Amino acid sequence: MNGVELAFVLVGAVALGSGFLVVTTTRIVHSALWLAVCLGAVAGCFLLLTAELLAWVQLLIYVGAVVVLVLFALMLTRAPIGPTPGAPRGRVFLAAGVATATALVLLGTLLAGMGDEVVDLDGTGVGDGEAVGSALFRGWVLPFELLSVLLLAALVGAIVLSRRRQDEDGR
């Protein structure tokens, strides 16, 4: 195991540990904060896999915007600060069973198919702004423009949904 693999194992362990806390902690706000740690660790994984631009995008959009948005939503829906009662025990066991089955299927498929492959990190080009930018604006221009329309639609939709109308004041 070389240095990069060791670093990846450490960052991946942080991502998995904080991800586990996101779905199991009883305090809702703590869950959102652990989500920030988990997404930051995934950004570290991106960085180790030579996706340099994506790591910064992940930090800016996920940790910077999405987690803050989630925290605002938790405050606006008056989420309790203290511990909340968890789900019934039967549902926890059912969900754990489904999640374990999902993990087994995914791990089995991926490791059986590509378990022995090695990523040649020196041979692959670094995904910095120049490489991703030229790929984006040469081969992926149409999806890129479509996404800008999607973002505009989402913006307008979010404003319309969260606007309080005059005639339905009490609702």
Partner 1 sequence: MRLALPLVVSALLFAMGVFGVLVRRNAVLVLMSVELMLNAANLNLVAFDAWWSDTLHGGQVMTLFVITIAAAEVGLGLAIVLKVFRTRGTSDLDDLGLLNERAETEQLAEFDGDGPQRDLRSEAGTPDVTEPEATR
Residues numbered 79-118 forming contacts with partner 1, rule: CB under 8 A? 79, 84, 86-87, 91-92, 94-96, 98-100, 102-103, 106-107, 110-111, 114-118
**Residue 79, helix vs strand vs coil:** coil
Pick one of 2, 165, 166, 169: the residue that binds partner 1 (CB under 8 A): 2
Phi-psi sector, 50: left (phi>0), alpha (psi -120 to 50), beta: left
Closest distance of CB 166 from partner 1, Å: 15
Q: What is the DSSP letter of 64?
A: I
How many residues make contact with partner 1 (CB under 8 A)? Answer: 91
Q: Dihedral (C-alpha) 56, 61, 64, 65: value to the nearest 10 degrees?
A: 170
Both tokens assigned to 111 = 């490791």
Which residues ranging from 134 to 153 are in contact with partner 1 (CB under 8 A)?
135-136, 138-140, 143-144, 147, 150-151, 153
Helix-helix angle 28-48:67-76, to 10 degrees:
170
Closest distance of CB 113 from partner 1, Å: 9
- Identify whether the C-beta of residue 86 lies closer than 8 Å to the C-beta of residue 92: yes
Which residues ranging from 26 to 85 are in contact with partner 1 (CB under 8 A)?
28, 31-32, 35, 38-39, 42, 45-46, 48-51, 53-54, 57-58, 61-62, 65-66, 69-70, 72-74, 76-77, 79, 84
Closest distance of CB 81 from partner 1, Å: 13
Closest distance of CB 167 from partner 1, Å: 14
If 0-12 CB within 10 Å is exposed, 13-18 middle and 19+ buried, where does residue 111 land? exposed
Closest distance of CB 144 from partner 1, Å: 8
Amino acid at 63: V
Does residue 9 bind partner 1 (CB under 8 A)? yes
